[in-house]
């Protein structure tokens, strides 16, 4: 899985080894976590960089109103990851435990059932985006130019929602089977293809926001096809052997598996939906500040996404490694992985935040057609606030990993809900309507991460998740007791 010396892998490994030398984590667990986490972090950086480049291209080619329009469409596109992330969260819990117990038939059933569930849930969303895009975007803003750009983007990008969800299931299946390297190759390759397609469509053909949306759709189709062929055949030309092979002609509709996926995945999907739903009132509040603040916030959130990439790796590594240990009924190792990965994640997030803060202004300038654009200083200050807040995301995401792996997914949902709707949104509203001003937005970033971090870590420390996992362990493992 580590076939060539990747600089990011080495950086993460050195952080882990430094923590091990300090006696904060176990060396072997640091190495194993790095092996699983770094490809997922690369994928996250590639995908979030793709999103950032999308906004930068649109900003340079079309202008501030188009950036705001894409931002208004963002929460709707986020539904793909709320739906797909929920089902995929259930998939990784079931796949990792079945992989750890060598329950091949049950593993294949989990993958096929996840595929069916994604299609059933996502197709209606695509239909809605095609027929009523203007009405949806108009909920968030009265800015006619931004509404037009946002509706155009949403109408086209909606076709990519089922494929984006299926990509998440494919990726989580491989990570749950202890191989995040192939998932990185496929999804990061898709992100790079997306950037190339967008450059052609936006600048070459002059299609603007529609070109950005079309590039996203086509790249997701290619990634889905790659996962489908690789997982069904057990290998893919140019990539090699996959860790699992699933018969595509087997049973898809298994009531017991569907129930488990919904029971585990619904709170995960709801947790992802918290971010998506919260963007609706947040963008409406930002609209009070004005178009420049909306654009600045969209830019800052794209940078935030890149800074949050370590959480993708550490959260999924934790879910996979903890889930495999639980599948073997080894609760002590499961807890040890969870504890060490939380510490590992926090250290990595801190380093990421420092680097982004040092170059914040130079990064923001890349998103504007003019270095004197009024949104630039606003975005820089928002990024500084994000750098302070994102360290707590390391605690929140890594502590949620063991909870997700065990099936204890309600608490991470509740913590994210409280952080957003009782912390972040009210603070942003106070900023827009009182003398608190932009400090409300800075504090909103902090509340979004500190509240979930405290609650998720508390839940991890209670060990309740271990007993909850017993209901989802495969029959093979249950028979070992």
Show pLDDT as tens, one digit a residue, over the chain (481 residues).
334 446 778 888 899 999 999 999 999 999 988 888 887 787 777 767 666 777 778 877 777 778 778 878 887 887 767 777 778 777 877 887 787 777 778 888 888 998 899 899 889 989 999 999 988 888 777 788 888 888 999 999 999 989 988 998 888 888 788 777 888 788 888 888 888 998 899 888 888 889 989 998 999 999 999 999 999 998 888 888 888 888 888 888 888 888 888 888 777 777 777 777 787 888 889 888 887 888 888 888 888 888 888 887 888 788 878 888 887 888 888 889 989 999 999 999 999 899 999 998 888 887 766 666 778 889 999 999 999 999 999 899 889 888 888 878 789 889 989 999 999 999 999 999 999 999 999 999 999 999 999 999 999 998 888 888 887 766 544 445 4
Angstrom distance (rounded) from CA 460 to CA 411? 10
Angstrom distance (rounded) from CA 412 to CA 449? 12
Confidence (pLDDT) at 191: 83
User: How far apart, in Å, are the Cα atoms of 377 and each of 34, 62, 146, 297, 352?
Assistant: 36, 20, 21, 11, 21
CB atoms within 10 A of CB 370: 12
Q: What is the CA radius of gyration of the chain?
A: 21
**Do residues 80 and 164 touch, judged by C-beta distance below 8 A?**
yes
Angstrom distance (rounded) from CA 32 to CA 180? 12
Sign, CA torsion 277/281/282/286: positive
Angstrom distance (rounded) from CA 444 to CA 277? 15
Q: Nearest CA to 289 among 366, 368, 360, 379? A: 379
DSSP track, 465-478 = HHHHHTTTS-HHHH
**Do residues 303 and 363 touch, judged by C-beta distance below 8 A?**
yes
Q: Nearest CA to 44 among 455, 423, 378, 397? A: 397
Element (H, E) at 240: strand 240-241
**Do residues 100 and 325 touch, judged by C-beta distance below 8 A?**
yes
Q: Nearest CA to 401 among 13, 128, 158, 37? A: 37
φ, ψ for residue 471, nearest 5 deg = -75, -20
Confidence (pLDDT) at 478: 45
**Do residues 1 and 35 touch, judged by C-beta distance below 8 A?**
yes
Residue 69 makes CB contacts below 8 A (sequence gap 6+) with 137, 145, 146, 147, 148, 149, 150, 151, 152, 153, 209
Angstrom distance (rounded) from CA 306 to CA 272? 17
């Amino acid at each position: 899985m580590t076939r060539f010396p990747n600089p990011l892998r080495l950086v993460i490994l050195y952080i882990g080894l430094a923590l091990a030398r300090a006696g904060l984590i176990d060396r072997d667990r640091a190495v194993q976590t790095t092996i699983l986490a770094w490809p997922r972090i690369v994928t996250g950086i590639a995908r979030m960089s793709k999103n950032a480049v999308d906004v930068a291209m649109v900003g340079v080619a079309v202008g501030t109103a188009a950036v705001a329009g894409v931002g208004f469409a963002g929460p709707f596109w986020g539904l793909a990851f709320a739906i797909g992330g929920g089902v995929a969260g259930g998939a990784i819990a079931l796949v990792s435990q079945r992989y750890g117990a060598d329950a091949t038939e049950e593993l294949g059933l989990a993958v096929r059932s996840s595929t069916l569930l994604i299609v059933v849930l996502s197709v209606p969303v695509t239909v809605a985006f095609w027929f009523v895009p203007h009405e949806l975007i108009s909920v968030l803003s009265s800015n006619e130019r931004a509404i037009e750009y946002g509706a155009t983007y949403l109408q086209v990008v909606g076709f990519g929602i089922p494929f984006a969800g299926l990509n998440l299931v494919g990726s989580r299946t491989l990570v749950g089977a202890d191989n995040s390297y192939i998932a990185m190759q496929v999804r990061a390759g898709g992100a790079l293809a997306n950037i190339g397609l967008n450059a052609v469509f936006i600048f070459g053909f002059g299609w603007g926001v529609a070109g950005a949306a079309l590039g996203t759709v086509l790249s997701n189709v290619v990634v889905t096809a790659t996962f489908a062929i690789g997982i069904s055949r057990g290998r893919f030309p140019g990539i090699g052997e996959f860790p699992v092979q699933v018969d595509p002609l087997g049973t898809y509709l298994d009531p017991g598996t569907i129930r488990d996926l919904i029971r585990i995945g619904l709170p995960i999907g709801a947790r992802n939906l918290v971010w998506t739903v919260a963007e609706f009132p947040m963008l409406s509040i930002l609209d009070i500040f004005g178009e420049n603040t909306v654009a600045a916030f969209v830019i800052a959130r794209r940078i935030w996404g890149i800074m949050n990439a370590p959480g993708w790796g550490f959260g999924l590594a934790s879910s996979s490694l903890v889930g495999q240990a639980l599948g073997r009924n080894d609760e002590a190792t499961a807890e040890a992985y969870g504890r060490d990965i939380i510490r590992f994640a926090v250290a990595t997030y801190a380093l990421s935040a420092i680097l982004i803060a040092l170059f914040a202004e130079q990064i923001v300038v890349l998103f504007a057609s003019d270095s004197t654009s009024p949104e630039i200083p606003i975005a820089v200050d928002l990024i500084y606030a994000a750098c302070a807040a994102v360290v707590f995301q390391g605690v929140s995401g890594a502590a949620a990993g063991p909870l997700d792996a065990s099936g204890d997914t309600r608490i991470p949902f509740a913590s994210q809900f409280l952080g957003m709707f009782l912390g972040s949104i009210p603070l942003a509203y106070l900023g827009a309507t009182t003398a608190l001003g932009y400090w409300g937005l800075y504090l909103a970033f902090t509340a979004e991460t500190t509240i979930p971090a405290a609650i998720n870590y508390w839940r991890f420390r209670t060990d309740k998740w271990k007993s909850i996992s017993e209901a989802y362990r495969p029959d093979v493992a249950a028979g070992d007791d």
